[in-house]
Amino acid sequence: MTDAIQVRGLSYRVEGFALRDLNLTVPGGAVYGFLGPNGAGKTTTVRLLLGLLRPEGGSIRVLDEEVPADLVSILRRVGYVPERPHLYPDLTVAESIRFHAAFHARFDHAASGRLAARFGLPHDRVLSRLSKGEMGKLMILQALAQRPDLLVLDEPTDGLDPVVRREALSAILEYVSETGASVLISSHLVHELERFCDWIGVLDQGTMVAELPMQEFKSGLKRLRVGAGAEAASAPFSLLAREPAGVGGELWTVRGWRSDMSAWFSDTHPLREVVDLDLEEAFVELLRTARTPDGRIV
Amino acid sequence: MFRAVLMSFWRESRLAVILLAGIALAVPLLSLRGTWTTDPWTAWDLLGAAARWSPGYPVIALAAAMALAAGAWWPDHRTKHVYALTLPVARSRYLWLRYLAGLALLLAIGASLLVGSLIATLRITLPPLVHAYPVALTLRFGLAGLSAYTVLFALSGLTPRMARLIVAVCCALVIVTVAAELLSLEWNPIATVVEALLGPYSPLSIFRARWMLIDV
Amino acid sequence: MFEHLDPALPTPLYAQLAERLRAAIAAGDLAPGELLPSVRQLAARLRLNPGTVVQAYRDLEASGLVELRQGSGTYVREISRARRADEQAAASSRLAAEMLARAAGLGLSGEDLLTALRNALRETRT
């Protein structure tokens, strides 16, 4: 299957912020979690992907077509949920859905009706009077009812309460199960993405710090409790950080760990424990070690 | 797609359109109010009534143009155009759809004017040498509205960069005019521009004419 | 049955899901011939990647606990009592290994754990 999104050498500059030579790949059919702290440039990248901003350099291919050359053709097959509400505020829920349907040939009215009922959206209420949760659900409804091949979701559950978040994610995953569509979902809520993303890309200060399958990311990052005297020079893994811990011991944060590597340790350089990091901890460690002491990206 | 755009435009400008259509219907009727009770009127009285109310029509046309141009752009400006730019439709086509939707509503207001003026003038018996021009009046309204709406639509849709450019050009004109004045030069660029915009060869000149429902 | 699937644990999610299903089948909570939720339903309900559910179901199929009937769904198979007992023994072993590992992390010995377990069992009986 061709990649859903393929970005090479993307660069973009605006006052005080720059994307430098960004490479990003979302494999076809993948659920790709786009992580990064606030201000990393996730929203900017998403906007560039959809032709809302013009890059300074690099190439962007979405669903095997070029941005911005084939933009209209691409937008037919992409469902977009931006960070901030973008629908026309003076339309009612029913009117907004009708409006959206008029522009999308594949629009599934039956699915839209089912989702509207499930989400409990009030048909005759004007968008400007919807709650944050209702607006979020409406945007997702419209993006899903459109039957896209790719969903681009920019912090779709940001600021929503847990009940609404679950409903929204359920609907999205149900759609993905039915259609095998690809998803790019950006968030800084790491715990949420951990359950269902099979790829993860980490952006920090405009640079892609890591991009790899979720399982590899989680399994490779560990904390090791080692005895004193352990020497890291010839280690088969990469040592990201070390700090003293407890009596005569150290805590090492390592990357690229495999279980057979425990053989490298010995009685004189003992390995006491291997601690798993959850995604949030792994993410924080990754950022911490990718930055220089004064906080900049290397 | 056009129906959807028209629907959203209507939602946006409903109140303004209904109000203006109501006014457009009422003005011709009100201008010949006197004829409701005493008929026939003299030519003199009829012409006087028409002349008194004639400035109203271009005002309605301008108001309609302004309201519709604003309604065309307001929802997009409010949401930073993100929705329109992510719909699978070419930008030019979308603009064209919006423009035409506004035009359709303008036509509706014009139709209201036609109905009002027809009712007002068909009821009365006109004295000799005086004629009623309900259709001509409506056409004039349509043309004026179209011109003003087109210009205002284009201006409302300006990107901030374009808007800044136009403001800069205007400021430059003002500065040059003032400088010319101070240096006692026989040159007034602002007057030239205004003359070009509203002069006899410009479609906007229609606003300067007299709009008489009843004339010789 | 499906509460507290924890992505933070080292065990992959599909394995955790498969574990729950195994235990349910062995205990008889999922009867032979019963239809399991579709991939779509379970993925939506638990907010998991559909691939995770597929992998869990395949795992169970490979173990001979379920069968996938094309166009119909995934059904629990008839399993012998001996097999049931095996599954429960395996689940207990896994749980025991997990507990011992955690105890070690807290500096507790296996003996301490055993004593505590006996006491706890006595409590539940009274």
Contact: B7, A95; criterion CB under 8 Å: yes
In this structure, what DSSP letter does residue A126 have? B
Which tens digits make up the pLDDT trace of A44-54?
Answer: 999 999 999 99
How confident is the prediction for chain B on average, in pLDDT?
85
The predicted pLDDT at position A296 comes to 62
Which tens digits make up the pLDDT trace of A92-134?
Answer: 999 999 999 999 999 999 999 999 999 999 999 999 999 999 9
Q: What's the rounded Cα separation, in Å, for the pair A93 and A91?
A: 7
* Closest to A242 (Cα-Cα) out of A256, A224, A265: A224
Q: Are C66 and C74 in contact (CB under 8 A)?
A: yes
State the CB neighbour count (10 A cutoff) for residue A272. Answer: 18
Kindly report whether the global pTM for this prediction surpasses the value 0.80.
yes
Bridge partners (DSSP) listed for residue A213:
A199
Chains A–C, number of C-beta pairs less than 8 Å apart:
56
The answer, for B15 touching chain A at a CB cutoff of 8 Å, is no
Q: What's the rounded Cα separation, in Å, for the pair C44 and A174?
A: 5
Which tens digits make up the pLDDT trace of B33-61?
Answer: 776 666 667 777 778 878 888 888 888 99
3-state secondary structure of A176: helix
Q: Is the pLDDT of residue B90 over 80?
A: yes
Q: Which chains touch B (3 or more CB pairs under 8 A)?
A: A
Which tens digits make up the pLDDT trace of A73-87?
Answer: 999 999 999 999 999
Which tens digits make up the pLDDT trace of C54-77?
Answer: 999 999 999 889 998 888 889 998
Highest mean predicted confidence (pLDDT) among A182-196, A238-252, B98-112, C80-94: B98-112
DSSP string for C8-44: TSSS-HHHHHHHHHHHHHHHTSS-TTPBPPPHHHHHH
Bridge partners (DSSP) listed for residue A61:
A6, A66
The arithmetic mean of pLDDT across residues A57-82, rounded, is 95
The predicted pLDDT at position A294 comes to 66
Q: What's the rounded Cα separation, in Å, for the pair A272 and B9?
A: 70
Contacts of C7 in chain A (CB under 8 A): 191, 194-195, 278-279
Smallest Cβ–Cβ distance between B82 and the set A52, A76, A91 belongs to: A52
The predicted pLDDT at position A295 comes to 62
Compute the nearest-CA separation of B139 from chain A (Å). Answer: 32
The confidence band for A297, taking pLDDT boundaries of 50, 70 and 90, is: low
Region of B25 on the Ramachandran plot (φ > 0 left; ψ -120 to 50 alpha; else beta): alpha
Compute the nearest-CA separation of A198 from chain C (Å). Answer: 7
Contacts of C9 in chain A (CB under 8 A): 276
Which ranges of chain B does DSSP label H, i.e. alpha helix? 2-31, 34-37, 43-53, 56-78, 82-86, 91-122, 134-156, 160-182, 189-198
The predicted pLDDT at position B125 comes to 76
In this structure, what DSSP letter does residue A92 have? B
Contacts of C47 in chain A (CB under 8 A): 166, 169-170, 173, 195-196
Q: Is the pLDDT of residue A298 over 60?
A: no
The arithmetic mean of pLDDT across residues B101-123, rounded, is 92
Q: What's the rounded Cα separation, in Å, for the pair A210 and A134?
A: 34
Smallest Cβ–Cβ distance between A98 and the set B4, B80, B89 belongs to: B4
- Percent of chain B scored above 70 by pLDDT? 96
Contact: A273, C10; criterion CB under 8 Å: no
The confidence band for A183, taking pLDDT boundaries of 50, 70 and 90, is: very high
The confidence band for A175, taking pLDDT boundaries of 50, 70 and 90, is: very high
3-state secondary structure of C25: helix
Bridge partners (DSSP) listed for residue A66:
A61
Which residue in chain A is spatially nearest to C50 when comparing CA positions?
A177
Q: Which residues of chain C have pLDDT under 70?
A: none
Intra-chain end-to-end CA distance of chain C, in Å:
27
Contacts of A31 in chain C (CB under 8 A): 49
The arithmetic mean of pLDDT across residues A226-254, rounded, is 78
The predicted pLDDT at position B40 comes to 65
* Closest to A173 (Cα-Cα) out of A206, A142, A197, A137: A197
Smallest Cβ–Cβ distance between A195 and the set C13, C51, C104 belongs to: C13
Which tens digits make up the pLDDT trace of B95-111?
Answer: 999 999 999 999 999 99
State the CB neighbour count (10 A cutoff) for residue B79. Answer: 17
Q: Is the pLDDT of residue A147 over 80?
A: yes
Which tens digits make up the pLDDT trace of B163-192?
Answer: 788 888 888 888 888 888 788 777 777 777
The predicted pLDDT at position A180 comes to 93
The answer, for C102 touching chain A at a CB cutoff of 8 Å, is no
The predicted pLDDT at position B35 comes to 66
A94 vs A276, more confident: A94
Contact: C43, A173; criterion CB under 8 Å: yes
* Closest to A124 (Cα-Cα) out of A98, A159, A85, A86: A98
Q: Are B118 and B29 in contact (CB under 8 A)?
A: no
Q: Is the pLDDT of residue A222 over 80?
A: yes
Q: Is the pLDDT of residue B126 over 80?
A: no
Compute the nearest-CA separation of B22 from chain A (Å). Answer: 23
